[in-house]
Amino acid sequence: MFNLLKSFQSKSDVVVLMYHRVTDLAIDPWQLAVTPEQFEGQLKLLNKKYRVVSVEELLHHYHRGKIKSKTVCLTFDDGYLDNYLEAKPLLEKYNCAATFFIATYYIKAQIGFWWDELLKLIMFSPELPKDITIHVHQNKFHRRIKEQRINVEKNQELKYWVWNQAYPTERCEIYMALWAFLQPLPIHEILICLAQLTDLINQPAKLLQDERAMTHAQLKNLAANPLFQAGIHTITHPALACHSKFEQEQELLKCKVELETLLNQNINIAAYPYGNFNDDTLQVMKENQISAGFTTKAQTVNCDSNIHQLGRFHVTNQNQSEFEQQLKLWFK
């Protein structure tokens, strides 16, 4: 009977949750943001009905072959400032552990994440040029614009648009085309293209909300709390599979070193930006003995999971009741 019980426990599944931002956004096509009010409701539910553990504890049970039922892990990607200002106090209030995967370039440079800068330029600028042509090296993007002027405040279709839905306006289509063009490029080429795009727009939109990463001091303060753990999210947030093995290794290992130097802690878990990885990525992880890697695959974690391809579930801006139903589905 004991052996049967042990076998049952080892097959229990963990739901690892993936957050990005805790704030309220005017336009959020990637559904990255959960408002502070909804986030608190989600934490109340987790605190009451589930066992919230750190990634470190999850990995401990994984290697022992014993994972308890109704276990949840919380993770945050990128290192946005609102993680510190909004998420941290609420996580502390409900005593919920969390891991923050940090793209260190944005913390050091204190600039907006490129996908937010692109969204601001395309979706919030009052007027776009008749033509958009940007290029770097052999990569070129060209598009004629029909719908040059737009009133974002009056266009409610934009507020509820999600990236995988039909485009309600031409600007949504342009944004997605530019995002697809820029995403495979290295960061220095992305920044060149964004600068060209900014020059093409006479009155580029101003920053509507604070989209910076947290500072070094804030990250150190965050990591000083035993509830919280930092993780590798590369230096510049590249789509890893679009780059050579050497470049991938540089991105992962330099991020590890920078975090370890700043926080004076061993940092040995990673999350792949965009959930993008390939065989080279996995080889780099194994060769450098990085203990675990998280994807964006919507699948539970159990003792049979590949340690370098652990799944996570993307949390959206759901109220407590909706979130509870979603969790039940994920655990099934």
Alpha-carbon Rg for the chain, nearest whole angstrom, is 21
Write down the domain spans for the chain: 2-110+212-331, 114-200
Predicted confidence at residue 6, as pLDDT, reads 36
Question: Helix, strand or coil for residue 52?
Answer: strand
Q: Which fold is adopted by the domain 2-110+212-331? A: TIM Barrel (3.20.20)
Predicted confidence at residue 218, as pLDDT, reads 97
Tens-of-pLDDT digits for all 332 residues of the chain? 333 333 334 458 999 999 999 999 989 999 999 999 999 999 999 999 999 999 999 999 999 988 888 999 999 999 999 999 999 999 999 999 999 999 999 999 988 899 999 999 998 888 899 999 999 988 999 999 987 676 655 566 778 889 999 998 898 999 999 999 999 999 999 999 999 999 998 776 665 556 889 999 999 999 999 999 999 999 999 999 999 999 999 999 999 999 999 999 999 999 999 999 999 999 999 999 999 999 999 999 999 999 999 999 999 999 999 999 999 999 98
Distance, in Å, from the CA atom of 142 to the CA atom of 87, rounded to the nearest integer, reads: 40
Contacts 24+ apart (CB under 8 A), 144-148: 145/170, 145/174, 146/170, 147/171
Q: Which of 19, 14, 1, 12 is nearest to 271 (CA)?
A: 19
Predicted confidence at residue 84, as pLDDT, reads 97
How far, CA to CA in Å, does 40 sit from each of 45, 88, 89, 100, 116?
9, 11, 10, 18, 25
Predicted confidence at residue 322, as pLDDT, reads 98
Q: Which of 142, 250, 127, 269 is nearest to 186 (CA)?
A: 250
Q: In which residue are the tokens 């969790």 written?
A: 327
Query: What are the φ and ψ backbone dihedral angles of 152, each rounded to 5 degrees?
Result: -65, -40
Residues in the chain, how many? 332
Instruction: Please tell me the pTM assigned to this model.
Output: 0.93
